[in-house]
Amino acid sequence: MKFISWNIDSINAAVEHKSNRGEMTWQVLQKLAAEQPDVLAIQETKLRPSGLTSKQADALTELFGGYYRYVRSSTGRSGYSGTMMFTKIKPVNVTYPKLNAPEAMDLEGRVITLEFPHCYVTTVYTPNSGRKLDRLPQRMLWDDTYRDYLQKLNQHKPVIASGDFNVAHRDIDLKHPAANHHHAGFTDEERQKFTLLLHAGFTDTFRYLHPDQSGVYTWWSQISKTAKVNNSGWRIDYYLVSESLNQQIAAFNVVNTGERQDHAPIKLQMKSTFKL
């Protein structure tokens, strides 16, 4: 089975594709549709609280006809954050959980969970700690509540969790660790919380397959025009699975997005013996 996850940075920019970057985003979305994943997770949709416009819905239906679609928008801040999931197989249940996270984080549409007969498939858009780390204390509480949420799911069924976790875990997960130490996404605190998440019974699927591989990233800053050319990136998007699923992991890839900077989609493939 094939799973794809992507921080798209605006559904509307992709659908309208009036700018060069918007056109590149649309092309990537078309590429993902051609992949025909069993489950596709999208983060940072930036939709209004009312959800998709008719134009956006029609465009996505044209690309992903035959898929069940689930949308969660931010109700705390319009046009911000948000998540979406597509699945070929109808789930037995869909939840939009409240984690009892601090500030308005629970109102920002950050988590969707699909329950299937044999597992949960969930996606997350983890809050950024902010350029000046002004949101770091709240982010620490978010990490704790999210870890507790996944652990509770895992007590019932195995979990496949994807998304933009907004943290590079190890030095080899970004190009310039020394220069970025104590910056958002690479603070000691964020990295320690991610370690705790893994120790709670979850596997970083990329590292499971490639324990010491460097130079594989999922995000390149838009600010630096040469970030992608120089592969000066960060690995902050993940597929985590319950440890009980380790032997079912078949492959992990970062989808090539050409010249487009920002996030790239990630793809997880499970063995033929795996069933939702």
Provide the domain count of the chain: 1
- Decide if 125 is catalytic: yes
Q: What is the pLDDT of residue 275?
A: 93
* 276, part of any domain: no
Output the pLDDT for position 107.
Answer: 95
Task: Answer yes or no: is 275 within a domain.
Answer: no
Q: Domain with 196 in it: what CATH number?
A: 3.60.10.10
Residue 91 lies in a domain: yes
Report the candidate in 93, 97, 105, 46 with the shortest Cα–Cα distance to residue 73: 46
Sole residue written with tokens 């948000």: 82
Q: Average pLDDT by consecutive 10-residue portion of the chain (276 residues)?
A: 97 92 95 98 97 96 96 93 98 97 92 98 97 95 98 98 98 97 97 98 98 97 91 97 98 96 97 95
CB atoms within 10 A of CB 199: 9
Catalytic residue among 164, 173, 204, 237: 164
Residue 201 located in a structural domain: yes
For residue 224, what pLDDT is reported?
87
252 close to 267: Cβ distance less than 8 angstroms? yes
> Among 80, 120, 125, 239, which one carries the catalytic annotation?
125
| 208 occurs within a structural domain | yes
Domain that holds residue 48: 2-270
Q: Cα separation of 162 and 261, whole Å?
A: 20
- 23 within some domain: yes
58 among known catalytic residues: no
Cβ neighbors of 218 (< 8 A, separation 6 or more) are 233, 234, 235, 236, 237, 254, 263, 264, 266
Q: Which among 191, 186, 205, 194 is positioned nearest to 254, based on CA atoms?
A: 205
Classify residue 229: in a domain, yes or no: yes
Look up tokens 């985590």; give the residue: 240
pLDDT score, position 210: 98
Global confidence as pTM = 0.97
